[in-house]
C-alpha cells in the first residue's frame, strides 16, 4: 500500500511524476524502478514526466447521463478553445465522475508552469489560508485558490457556453467561479431511515453495545454437540451455540442484509466466513470506488453520513476479530475523502476507534485509501490488487477473499451502503430491517436515479417499492418516457414496455416447478400478472386468474394463439434477485425474433439487472438509442483492464460494430442482409452484425474473469432486440 499512495503524494505536489522523484522513491522503498513504472503505466490518472500537464486541463464526463444531457456539445465548445491555445490547454473526455444528477459535468485543473516551479501550490497553503478559502466557499473541505492553482475542481449542471467561459478565465489566469461543490449542493431526496442516531453525541452506539457485551475478542470455536442431542436437533443446537458466542453477528444474519455492490451476496456470509478464519491478521475493506455510470449514492453517504460508514467498518472488524479497516475512495471524490478522514479523527476522540475502544480490550483502526483511479478498481479483487501496489487486474477465484484477500489474509470487502446499514441493524435489530419492506420482500436500500427527470437524486426506498415509484420520487420523466437503464450500462437499455421473447410460458412453467414453496410460486405469478400488458391495450393490466395453475393455463392459451405479450418493467419491485429472475422469464438479451439470431447466447447473457444507478430516457431527449448504446459500449472499451483477451479485443470490436451501424443508419445504407458496398467490398448486414455480437457475447461471458467483459455486449444486444425499428434497414 506504500507505493500507490506515495505516487499520489508526488503527483499532488508537482502535478506530475518527475523522473528524479521516481528514482528517489525507488531508492527509499527498495522497489525496482521498472516495477514502479509498471504501476504508473496501468493507471491513467498518473502523469509521468514525458507527459507533463499543460497549464490548464479539462476533463469532460462523457458517460450516460452526461452524454444524454449534452456532454458532446460541451466537448465541441471546449475543443475550439483548445485548438486556439494548444500549447496551454488540454481538453479530453473522462469516465463517469459521479455527478450524474447534475449532468453535464467536468473537472478542471490549473497547474503551475512545470518549467518554472515544480511545487503544486494548492498543497503549500498554510492552515490560515486554507481556512479562509473554505470559509469563502462555505465548504470545510474546499481546497485550492480561485486566483491561482487548483486541482480537479468540479463544475456541474451548466451550459456549454458557461464551461467555455470558465476555461477562458482559467487560461487568462483570472479568478474562476466557485466550483459546484458536493457539500453545498442540495440534492433531491426523501426521508432516510438509515441513520439511527438523532444527535451526534449518540453516534457509535452500536460499537458501545458490542464492546460492552464482548470486551474481549470472541474467537471462533467449532460447535460440538453433546452426544445426547438427537441428530435432527443438532443443527438447531449449533446455530444457538454460535449465536450465543457472537450474538451481534446473529443480528446481521436475521436482517438478511444483501451486499449493495451488485452481486447481492448476504453480508452475513462474508462476515461469518472471516470470523471462522483464525489468522494473525484479518482486514475489513469498504469499497467506495463508486465508478459505475449513473451511480452516485455512495457519494452522499461518504460526505453526509461518514460516521455510519466508519461505524460499519468498525462493527465488521469487531465481529470478525479483524485487525484493521480501510475505506477505499475514488480520487475524484476529494470532498468525501476529507470528510471521512475528519470523521475518523472524531471517532478516535470519542473512543470508538483505535486502541482500547470505549475502555475495552478491543483495538481496531480505520484509515482511508485513495484509489489510483479506474472503473476496474470497483471489482473487489482488482481493488485488493491496487491496495497491494499492483496493476488493478481482477484475480481468478478461488481462493476467495474471505480466506486469501489483502496481503493474502482473510478479508471482508463490502460496499459503502452495505456497511452504512449495519449501525441501524445493530441498534434496531435484524428483524427491523427484515420487516422494513412490504409483503415477502426484505429491507430498504438507496437508489441513484438520473437522466430525463424533473428531480434526479438519491432516494431511500423499500425493496418492495416498484421502479415506477422511484421514478415518481424523481418527479417523473420530463418528456415522453421511452427507455430505462436499470443498472447503469450493465443491464443494457430497456423499453418501458418489453416485448416478451418467445417460449415465455415454457420458461415460466420451469420457474414455477423450481419453487418448492407455494407462497413463492404465488409471489412469482403475482409479479407476472402485475406487469403483463396486452399489445392491443398496453395501458391496461391483463385480466388473469389469481390461481397459479389457472393463470399459467390462460397464458399458454394466449401464447398458442400467436399473440406476443408485453411487460411493463415499471411494475417490477426493487429487489435485485427478483429483477434477475424476471429478466430471464421475459427473455431479456435472448432476442425477440428468430431471424435476429441473438438466441445463440441464450442462457449466457447477463440479462436484466438492477443496480444502484438508474438512468431514464425520454423520446425527446434520446431519439437514437443506438447512439447511447455505443456510448455505453465505449465506456467498457475504455475501462477494460486488458487482462482477458476476449474482453480487451471484444470490447473494441463491439465499438467498431456500433460505429458502423450508427454511421450506416445515418446514411440510410444499412440493410438486413450482406450487400456490396460503394467500393465493391461486401458490407455486413444487420442480421450478420447481430449474430456476431451474439457469438462474441457468448465468448466474453464464458472467458472474462470479471463482470466487465460479461456485460459489455448488453447495450448493443438490447438495442438490437428492442429498438431495431430505429435503425431502419433499407430492405
Cα dihedral value 63, 67, 73, 77, nearest 10: -20
Q: Is the CB of residue 574 less than 8 Å from the CB of residue 438?
A: no
- Looking at the domain 210-433, which fold is it? Rossmann fold (3.40.50)
What was the pLDDT predicted at 605? 54
Weakly modelled stretches of the chain, pLDDT under 70: 1, 113-130, 133, 590-606
Distance CA(577)–CA(487), nearest Å, equals: 13
What distance lies between CA 482 and its chain's CA centroid? Answer: 23
Q: Where in the chain is the domain with CATH 3.40.50.11540?
A: 210-433
Q: Is the CB of residue 365 less than 8 Å from the CB of residue 325?
A: yes
Q: Which residues contact 269 (CB under 8 A, 6 or more apart)?
A: none
Q: Which residues pair with 89 in a beta bridge?
A: 56
What was the pLDDT predicted at 596? 42
What was the pLDDT predicted at 126? 59
**Domain 53-171: assigned CATH number:** 3.40.30
C-alpha cell at 464: 418492495
Q: Which residues pair with 461 in a beta bridge?
A: 445
What was the pLDDT predicted at 541? 83
Closest CA to 179 of 208, 148, 206, 152: 152
Helix (H) or strand (E) holding 447: strand 444-451
Distance CA(662)–CA(660), nearest Å, equals: 6
End-to-end CA distance of the chain: give it in Å, rounded.
59
What was the pLDDT predicted at 591? 47
Q: Where in the chain is the domain with CATH 3.40.30?
A: 53-171
Distance CA(651)–CA(634), nearest Å, equals: 8
User: Which runs of consecutive H residues, i.e. helices, occur in 32-159?
Assistant: 33-42, 65-68, 71-84, 127-137
Q: Which residues contact 122 (CB under 8 A, 6 or more apart)?
A: 143, 144, 145, 148, 149, 150, 151
Q: Is the CB of residue 74 less than 8 Å from the CB of residue 64?
A: no
3-state class (DSSP) for residue 532: strand
What was the pLDDT predicted at 114? 56
What was the pLDDT predicted at 120? 44
Distance CA(490)–CA(487), nearest Å, equals: 6
DSSP 8-state secondary structure symbol assigned to residue 188: B
Burial 222-237 (b: 16+ CB within 10 A, else e): eeeeeeeeeeeeeeee
For the whole model, what pTM was predicted? 0.93
Amino acid at each position: 500500500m506504500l507505493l500507490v499512495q506515495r505516487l499520489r503524494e508526488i503527483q499532488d505536489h508537482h502535478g506530475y511524476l518527475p523522473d528524479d522523484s521516481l528514482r528517489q522513491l525507488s531508492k527509499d522503498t527498495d522497489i525496482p524502478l521498472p516495477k514502479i513504472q509498471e504501476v504508473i503505466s496501468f493507471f491513467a490518472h498518473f502523469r509521468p514526466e514525458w507527459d507533463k500537464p499543460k497549464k490548464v486541463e479539462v476533463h469532460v464526463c462523457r458517460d450516460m447521463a452526461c452524454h444524454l444531457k449534452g456532454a458532446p456539445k460541451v466537448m465541441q465548445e471546449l475543443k475550439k478553445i483548445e485548438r486556439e491555445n494548444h500549447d496551454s490547454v488540454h481538453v479530453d473526455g473522462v469516465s463517469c465522475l459521479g455527478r450524474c444528477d447534475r449532468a453535464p459535468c467536468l473537472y478542471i485543473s490549473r497547474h503551475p508552469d512545470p518549467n518554472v516551479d515544480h511545487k503544486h501550490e494548492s498543497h503549500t497553503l498554510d492552515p490560515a489560508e486554507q481556512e479562509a478559502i473554505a470559509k469563502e466557499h462555505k465548504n470545510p473541505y474546499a481546497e485550492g485558490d480561485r486566483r491561482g492553482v487548483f486541482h480537479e475542481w468540479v463544475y456541474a449542471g451548466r451550459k456549454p457556453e458557461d464551461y467555455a467561459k470558465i476555461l477562458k478565465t482559467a487560461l487568462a489566469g483570472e479568478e474562476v467561479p466557485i466550483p459546484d461543490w458536493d457539500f453545498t449542493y442540495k440534492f433531491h431526496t426523501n426521508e432516510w431511515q438509515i441513520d439511527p442516531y438523532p444527535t451526534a453525541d449518540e453516534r457509535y452506539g452500536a460499537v458501545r453495545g458490542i464492546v460492552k457485551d464482548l470486551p474481549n475478542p470472541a474467537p471462533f470455536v467449532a460447535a460440538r454437540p453433546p452426544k445426547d442431542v438427537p441428530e435432527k436437533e443438532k443443527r438447531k443446537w449449533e446455530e444457538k451455540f454460535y449465536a450465543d458466542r457472537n450474538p451481534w453477528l446473529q443480528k446481521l444474519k436475521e436482517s438478511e442484509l444483501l451486499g449493495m455492490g451488485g452481486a447481492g451476496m448476504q453480508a452475513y456470509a462474508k462476515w461469518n466466513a472471516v470470523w471462522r478464519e483464525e489468522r494473525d491478521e484479518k482486514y475489513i475493506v469498504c469499497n467506495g470506488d463508486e465508478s459505475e455510470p449513473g451511480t452516485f449514492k455512495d457519494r452522499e453517504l461518504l460526505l453526509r453520513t461518514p460516521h455510519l460508514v466508519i461505524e460499519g467498518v468498525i462493527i465488521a472488524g469487531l465481529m470478525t476479530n479483524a485487525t484493521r479497516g480501510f475505506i477505499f475512495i475514488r480520487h475524484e471524490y476529494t470532498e468525501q475523502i476529507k470528510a471521512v478522514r475528519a470523521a475518523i479523527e472524531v471517532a478516535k476522540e470519542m473512543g470508538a476507534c483505535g486502541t482500547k475502544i470505549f475502555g475495552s480490550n478491543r483495538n481496531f483502526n480505520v484509515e482511508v485509501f485513495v484509489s489510483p483511479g479506474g472503473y476496474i478498481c470497483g471489482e473487489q479483487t482488482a481493488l485488493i490488487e491496487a491496495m497491494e501496489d499492483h496493476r488493478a487486474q481482477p484475480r481468478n477465484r478461488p481462493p476467495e477473499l474471505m480466506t486469501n484477500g489483502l496481503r493474502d489474509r482473510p478479508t471482508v470487502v463490502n460496499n459503502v451502503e452495505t456497511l452504512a446499514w449495519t449501525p441501524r441493524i445493530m441498534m434496531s435489530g435484524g428483524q427491523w430491517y427484515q420487516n422494513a419492506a412490504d409483503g415477502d420482500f426484505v429491507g430498504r436500500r438507496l437508489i441513484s436515479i438520473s437522466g430525463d427527470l424533473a428531480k434526479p437524486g438519491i432516494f431511500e426506498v423499500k425493496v418492495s417499492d416498484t421502479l415506477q415509484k422511484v421514478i415518481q420520487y424523481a418527479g417523473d420523466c420530463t418528456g415522453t418516457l421511452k427507455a430505462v437503464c436499470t443498472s447503469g450500462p450493465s443491464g443494457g437499455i430497456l423499453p418501458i414496455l418489453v416485448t416478451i421473447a418467445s417460449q415465455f410460458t415454457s420458461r415460466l412453467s420451469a420457474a414455477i416447478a423450481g419453487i418448492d414453496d407455494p407462497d413463492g410460486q404465488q409471489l412469482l405469478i403475482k409479479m407476472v400478472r402485475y406487469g403483463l400488458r396486452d399489445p392491443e391495450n398496453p395501458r391496461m393490466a391483463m385480466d388473469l386468474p389469481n390461481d397459479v395453475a389457472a393463470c399459467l393455463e390462460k397464458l399458454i392459451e394466449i401464447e398458442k394463439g400467436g399473440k406476443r405479450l408485453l411487460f411493463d418493467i415499471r411494475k417490477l419491485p426493487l429487489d435485485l434477485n427478483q429483477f434477475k429472475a424476471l429478466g430471464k422469464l421475459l427473455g431479456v438479451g435472448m432476442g425477440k425474433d428468430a431471424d435476429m439470431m441473438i438466441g445463440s447466447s441464450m442462457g449466457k447473457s447477463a440479462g436484466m439487472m438492477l443496480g444502484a444507478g438508474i438512468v431514464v430516457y425520454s423520446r425527446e431527449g434520446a431519439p437514437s438509442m443506438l447512439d447511447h448504446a455505443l456510448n455505453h459500449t465505449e465506456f467498457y472499451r475504455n475501462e477494460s483492464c486488458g487482462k482477458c483477451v476476449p474482453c480487451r479485443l471484444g470490447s473494441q470490436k463491439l465499438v467498431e460494430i456500433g460505429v458502423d451501424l450508427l454511421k450506416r443508419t445515418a446514411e440510410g445504407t444499412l440493410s438486413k442482409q450482406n450487400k456490396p458496398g460503394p467500393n465493391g467490398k461486401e458490407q455486413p448486414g444487420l442480421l450478420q452484425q447481430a449474430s456476431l455480437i451474439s457469438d462474441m457475447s457468448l465468448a466474453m461471458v464464458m472467458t472474462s474473469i470479471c463482470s466487465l467483459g460479461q456485460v459489455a455486449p448488453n447495450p448493443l444486444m438490447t438495442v438490437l432486440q428492442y429498438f431495431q425499428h430505429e435503425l431502419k434497414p433499407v430492405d
